[in-house]
Structure 1
Amino acid sequence: MKVDGTMWGLAFLWGAFLGLLYFGGLWLTVKTALDKRRPGRWLAISAIVRLATVLSGFWIVLRMDPAAFFFTLAGFFLVRIALTRILGPESKGPHHATHP
């Protein structure tokens, strides 16, 4: 089995790109949904387009190198974590949510 660090690095970057498309698109969709005439349709179309794009991107990597798929997933979820911290609520901690 040949270890190809370059391929895995590119797979990680590809996953990060897919993560930016998916989670960045989700953020934009939710942010602009209420301004749309039919927000439900906007959310549904966005979900379909985002899922189709990301699943196609994952499929490409999986067909090329199954081991690289895991690096793609790592990049994808790392972007999710980063965007959650960057774009998340201002106040974080146990007192952020209002509980009785």
Structure 2
Amino acid sequence: MTPIMALIVGASLGLFYFGGLWLTIQQLPIAQHPYRLVAFSFLSRLITVLFAVSLILSGNVFGVIPLLLCCIGFLAMRTILILLIQPQSRGAS
């Protein structure tokens, strides 16, 4: 796996994980069973990301470098989504 590909995979996993978290939070006010929604969302996101990370680790002979790059992409996407989704603060008048 090339370094750029590892970053892209990590960013994609971050978008899936944190985007799914954001969608879950948006659905909580209208959910009939919010605890089930949170639990199912968490487990499905976690299992998917862990499965992808296990594929990265098992299919690579170079060790942990692609895993570290994947983690960097994952956390970079988290930061990008925080900046894009957070409500804009209003200046003091």
1:72 and 2:67 correspond: no
Match runs of 1:1-100 below 5 Å: 7-65=2-60, 66-91=64-89
Range with greater deviation from structure 2 (80-89 or 59-68) = 59-68
Which ranges of structure 2 fall in alignment gaps of 5 or more residues? none
Which ranges of structure 1 fall in alignment gaps of 5 or more residues? 1-5, 96-100
Larger Rg: 1
Q: CA deviation at 1:92?
A: 7.4
Distance 2:79 2:59 in 1: 26
* TM-score under structure 1 length normalisation: 0.82
Secondary structure of 2:2 counterpart: helix
Runs of 4+ in 1 over 2 A off after TM superposition: none
* TM-score under structure 2 length normalisation: 0.88
**Identity in percent:** 35
Root-mean-square deviation (CA), in Å?
A: 1.7
Distance 2:87 2:68 in 1: 29
Residues paired across the two proteins, number: 89
Task: Considering Cα pairs closer than 8 Å and 6+ residues apart, tell me whether 1 or 2 has the greater RCO.
Answer: 2
